[in-house]
Amino acid sequence: MTDKTTAYQRLETQFHDICVLEDTIQVLHWDQATVMPSGGAVARAEQLARLEVMRHEKLTAPGLADDLAAASEAAEMDVWPAANLREMHRIRKKAVAVPADLVAAHSRASSLCEFAWREARPADDFSAIVEPLGELLELTRAIGAARGEALDCSLYDALLQDYEPGASSAYIDPLFDDLAGFLPDFLEDVLTRQTAAGEPLSPEGPFSTEAQRALCRQMAETVGLDFDTARVDESAHPFSSGVPEDSRITVRYNEDDFGEALMAVLHESGHAMYERGRPEDWRYQPVGRARGMVLHESQSLLLEMQACRTQEFYHWATPALRDAFDGDGPAWTRDNLLRWATRVERGFIRVDADEVTYPAHVILRYRLEKAMLDGDLALPDLPAAWNDGMKDLVGVVPPDDRQGCLQDIHWYSGAWGYFPTYTLGALAAAQIFQAATASDPTILPSIQQGNFKPLMGWLREKVHGHGSCHATDDLIHQTTGAPLAADAFKAHLRQRYLDG
């Protein structure tokens, strides 16, 4: 056994421990959002900060650098170990740019600001969050500046690396500009057509939370989740967390509209299925982790928007929805439920937005977070800037901050740079689903029977099972035959909302 081979094996051992730490942090975040008492906020902030510092210390240890150098000089590796080593270098380079005390301070501030948001949002009190958010913003700027210097990129692009390795504003802006030019006229055409056809009937509630819980479990199981190793809980903001062997999904229930929880559980199940499909042999190595949030969001949006708002899905799902809520009458026909699920309207809330207006919600957040990070937008001015942006991009003005700049958890939990991945994920979802259904003509007929195995099998082979072996663009090109673009997304929208 050579010293160089030993160096790579030591790296695998070290990164195994780092991956386990990351999994532990994930579960503690889930606990914090679902069942932890509010009085535990300070203690949890300290716990998470300490774990983040432990992870940082392992990544920045001098011995790790020595082993990376030795392993890099080794004889040519197979594809997976070589990709694993590449990811190790990338992760360490990002980590060493930031001192441990800044990592701890940012983690602590993120936890405390998130708890403040959980109180400020239902109270519609933005003023209560300005101070903790301001502290978090300054720490986020400091991290972005330090990383930007080390990675030779802008502050914002440095923060993007946490959510999409290799992404940049220069990559995002043309795609978003393309959509911003396409969507306004398209939205008007869709609304005109929808009005001419008559508005769909809304199923009338109330829809008990108990009945919705049972339906959400049934839908998640149908998609492929095994509830011996998964659970669905309730939180202020829906999310998917946990590990492949222990999926933690959350939704929020609205007794006036079961569609919110229904689509949330399908969306979050898409995230969980991606995690479960990661390559088992590389489970605790960087190359076996999810590539980034563009692919992650593509998998959730592929399920929620592409597969589960189709005629085929509602052919199967309509009887289940009727049974769940004792639904009867014209509002509960397959045709009406599909029209209700695909209705387009100008709304305030991103997570409830249809796929035509959703990109505008994301573009707004992208612009605002860049302005705040650059110092061009002061925090006290955020509500007014938000409302102006909503009027310009969506055509509505939120009546309060709870439905405006307080609606999303991301900034208040420290996730600056996340938002663009939602719309990039939507573009990827359309492109990947188009490729999947063209490649396997049994996918849609199987969904019509409530069978998602062909779709999930195809995704596991083409996307999930590749982990981080390939860059996002390379994997999308390999899977679909083309680089990521807006073409498939626009074609999908035209077919569903104008030509269908």
> Which residue range forms the structural domain that includes residue 429?
171-499
**Coil, helix or strand for 472?**
helix
Which pLDDT does position 76 carry in this prediction?
79
Which pLDDT does position 3 carry in this prediction?
61
> What confidence tens digit (pLDDT) does each residue in 331-344 have?
999 999 999 999 99
Which pLDDT does position 416 carry in this prediction?
98
Choose one of 111, 137, 166: the last residue of a domain: 166
Judge if 339 and 408 occupy the same domain. Answer: yes
| Mean pLDDT (the chain, rounded) | 96
Are 488 and 311 in contact by the 8 Å Cβ rule? The answer is: no
Judge if 46 and 33 occupy the same domain. Answer: yes
pTM above 0.85, yes or no: yes
pLDDT at 493 over 60: yes
Choose one of 166, 193, 223: the last residue of a domain: 166
> What confidence tens digit (pLDDT) does each residue in 348-376 have?
999 889 999 999 999 999 999 999 999 99
**Coil, helix or strand for 234?**
strand
Buried b (16+ CB within 10 A) or exposed e, 282-306: bbbbbbbbbbbbbbbbbbbbbbbbb
Which pLDDT does position 63 carry in this prediction?
94
Q: Rounded CA gap, 187 and 490, in Å?
A: 12
Which pLDDT does position 5 carry in this prediction?
65
pLDDT at 198 over 80: yes
pLDDT at 101 over 90: yes
Judge if 105 and 208 occupy the same domain. Answer: no
pLDDT at 99 over 50: yes
> What confidence tens digit (pLDDT) does each residue in 443-490 have?
999 999 999 999 999 999 999 999 999 999 999 999 999 999 999 999
Which pLDDT does position 286 carry in this prediction?
98
Q: Rounded CA gap, 278 and 468, in Å?
A: 9
Q: What's the average model confidence in pLDDT over 313-329? A: 97
Judge if 48 and 34 occupy the same domain. Answer: yes
Domain count across the chain? 2
**Coil, helix or strand for 285?**
coil
* pLDDT band, residue 1 (cuts 50/70/90): very low
Which pLDDT does position 386 carry in this prediction?
98
Choose one of 139, 166, 193: the last residue of a domain: 166
Residue 268 appears among annotated catalytic residues? yes
Q: Which of 12, 52, 87, 268 is catalytic?
A: 268
